[in-house]
Amino acid sequence: MYLPAAFEMNRPETLHALMQARPLGTLVTHGPDGLDANHIPFELDPAVGPHGLLRAHVAHANPVWQQAADTEVLVVFQATDGYISPNWYPSKPEHHRHVPTWNYAVVHAHGVLRVRDDERFLRGLVARLTREHEARSQQPRPWKMGDAPVDYIDGLLKAIVGLEIEITRLVGKYKLGQNREERGRLGAAAGLEGLGNVEAAEAMREAGGS
């Protein structure tokens, strides 16, 4: 990934926070048929290894767990993004030396994929993912695995395979207007907010202090 110094983010707590807030990662692998990408919700354990550990599961029918086992992989986590119009920069009428761009925040996690095809691992992983994301759904009575028949859950667990990726390298790129003068960055943030992209606007405002 091209990474100008102005956009580099290397604070582990910030990178982990993005990964946990946006857990649907793009798992990029290189197998016998070339490059492949699978979109999978991941669990991050930041306390394991130098950069954390990712856990996930895929369908047993998905060949990725066989084709990419014990190989180096990349998982991409993307957060907020938005198109930036030159018209949003206050200095645009002064010299017209602006062009469109796209702002975003993204984390690349590198590591080696290991297969965990055992029932205990899978049951624990699915239970934790369920608790986490049911809690985020803010329902008065979150769904839990015990709500479904035992034989039904047992059958589904046999149809999936676990994955683990101990992260060996984390790369963060937060392209949020840090290379602009403050009034330009804030003007672009206001433009995004006017379109309803409040998350991207807030990220750009916070980038001034990073």
Nearest to 192 by CA among 209, 173, 176, 174: 176
Read off the pLDDT of each residue in 64-77 and give the average, rounded to a whole number: 97
pLDDT for position 93: 84
Residue 118 burial (10 A CB sphere; 0-12, 13-18, 19+): exposed
Q: Could you give the CA distance from residue 44 to residue 167 in angstroms, rounded to a whole number? A: 10
pLDDT for position 8: 97
Nearest to 135 by CA among 143, 127, 146, 126: 143
For residue range 146-177, list pLDDT tens digits in order. Answer: 999 999 999 999 999 999 999 999 999 999 99
Read off the pLDDT of each residue in 69-80 and give the average, rounded to a whole number: 97
Asked if 206 and 199 touch (Cβ cutoff 8 Å), the reply is: no
pLDDT for position 161: 98
Residue 209: pLDDT band (50, 70, 90) is low
The CA-based angle 79-81-86, given to 5 degrees, is 160
The H or E element that residue 83 is part of is strand 72-84
For residue range 171-203, list pLDDT tens digits in order. Answer: 999 999 999 999 999 999 999 999 999 999 999
pLDDT for position 69: 96
Residue 210 pLDDT > 90: no
Yes or no: domain 5-81+101-180 corresponds to CATH 2.60.40.420: no
- Judged by DSSP in three states, 23 sits in coil
What residue segments make up the domains of the chain, in order of their start?
5-81+101-180
CB atoms within 10 A of CB 175: 21
Please state the pTM of the whole predicted model.
Answer: 0.93
Q: Could you give the CA distance from residue 1 to residue 171 in angstroms, rounded to a whole number? A: 9
Listed in order, strand segments (DSSP E) in 85-159 are 101-116
Q: Could you give the CA distance from residue 81 to residue 203 in angstroms, rounded to a whole number? A: 9
**Radius of gyration from C-alpha coordinates of the chain:** 20
Percent of the chain with pLDDT over 90: 92
Q: Could you give the CA distance from residue 82 to residue 199 in angstroms, rounded to a whole number? A: 10
Read off the pLDDT of each residue in 91-120 and give the average, rounded to a whole number: 93
